[in-house]
């Protein structure tokens, strides 16, 4: 026995993708219905429900020796229910790039893939060093929900991504995920995320009418909010976006 977990359930999409990146496919025995990356994992692994409403009994039936959860994404009551049944649960807390890199290293440590995780964290950190800031100091409103309109506050991972582009979060210092009224802020740029609300082309005109002076763009929310190996590609995506917005 290696002393490392052999049967892992992941309750977090970003961390499921991380486990696969670290070569732990065979040890991953359960995921959520939102763990859509990588595709072969999504298609082949048993699902235990959602991130908020995961099925404790279903998880127990998979006989995991480790469940990987997250402080924000998973309900505390469900995590405590697993612990009460004797399941080892590792709860991560990710709120900015530095804490994401720490999470990657920690998951590597507890799964016996420390070298791979360290290499991944170093590569991500290096790629984030030179993000294009051609639209620096622009007031940005990042919308994640419609009816009501909701955005992201200063203690979120998305806020940190916004800051790394040199932008100003126009609803700061609001915490977490506040509701937004059009008269409350005057953004230069509005980013409509693809998740959790699936903003589409049809929403552009509606938002433009509410904020007529702003530039409105659809963005792929995964590059702003997924904090596993997808961060390798986030700097390139953000560079392309800032270049487009500066044109």
- pLDDT recorded at residue 2: 60
Calculate the alpha carbon distances from 151 to 11, 70, 140, 175 in Å. 24, 21, 10, 10
φ, ψ for residue 36, nearest 5 deg: -85, -10
pLDDT tens for the chain, residues 1 to 247:
368 999 999 999 999 999 999 999 999 999 999 999 999 999 999 999 999 999 999 999 999 999 999 999 999 999 999 999 999 999 999 999 999 999 999 999 999 999 999 999 999 999 999 888 888 999 999 999 999 999 999 989 999 999 999 999 999 888 889 999 999 999 999 999 999 999 999 999 999 999 999 999 999 999 999 999 999 999 999 999 999 999 8
- pLDDT recorded at residue 247: 80
Give the residue among 14, 19, 60, 56 at the shortest CA–CA distance from 36: 14
What number of other Cβ atoms are within 10 A of residue 34's Cβ?
Answer: 19
Q: How far apart are CA 174 and CA 193, in angstroms?
A: 19
Contacts (Cβ under 8 Å, ≥6 apart) of 231: 97, 100, 124, 127, 128
φ, ψ for residue 68, nearest 5 deg: -105, 120
- Characterize the bridge pairing of strands 8-10 and 28-30: parallel
- pLDDT recorded at residue 8: 98
- pLDDT recorded at residue 128: 96
- pLDDT recorded at residue 1: 39
- State which CATH number among 3.30.1300.30, 3.30.200.20, 3.30.390.50, 3.40.50.1980 fits the domain covering 8-127: 3.40.50.1980
CATH of segment(s) 131-246? 3.40.50.1980
Structural element, H or E, at residue 67: strand 66-70
In the chain, residues under CATH classification 3.40.50.1980 are: 8-127, 131-246
Do 134 and 184 contact (CB within 8 A), yes or no? no
What number of other Cβ atoms are within 10 A of residue 200's Cβ?
Answer: 10
Give the residue among 57, 109, 108 at the shortest CA–CA distance from 87: 57
């Amino acid at each position: 026995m290696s002393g490392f977990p052999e049967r892992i359930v992941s309750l977090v999409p970003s961390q499921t993708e991380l486990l696969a990146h670290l070569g732990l496919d065979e040890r991953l025995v359960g995921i959520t219905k939102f763990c859509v990356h990588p595709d072969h994992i999504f298609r082949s692994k048993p699902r235990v429900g959602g991130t908020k409403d995961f099925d404790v009994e279903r998880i127990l039936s998979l006989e995991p020796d480790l469940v990987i959860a997250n402080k924000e994404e998973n309900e505390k009551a469900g995590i405590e229910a697993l612990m009460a049944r004797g399941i080892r649960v590792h709860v991560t807390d990710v709120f900015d790039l530095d804490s994401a890199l720490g999470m990657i290293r920690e998951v590597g440590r507890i799964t016996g893939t420390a070298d791979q995780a360290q290499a991944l964290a170093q590569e991500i950190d290096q790629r984030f060093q030179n993000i294009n800031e051609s639209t620096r100091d622009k007031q940005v409103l990042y919308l994640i929900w419609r009816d009501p309109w909701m955005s992201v506050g200063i203690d979120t991972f998305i806020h940190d991504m916004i800051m790394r582009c040199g932008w100003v979060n126009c609803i700061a210092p609001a915490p977490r995920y506040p509701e937004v009224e059009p008269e409350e802020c005057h953004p230069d740029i509005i980013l409509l995320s693809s998740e959790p609300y699936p903003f589409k082309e049809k929403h552009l005109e509606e938002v433009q009418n509410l904020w007529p002076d702003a530039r409105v763009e659809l963005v792929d929310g995964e590059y702003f909010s997924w904090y596993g190996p997808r961060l390798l590609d986030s700097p390139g995506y953000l560079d392309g976006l800032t270049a487009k917005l500066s044109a």
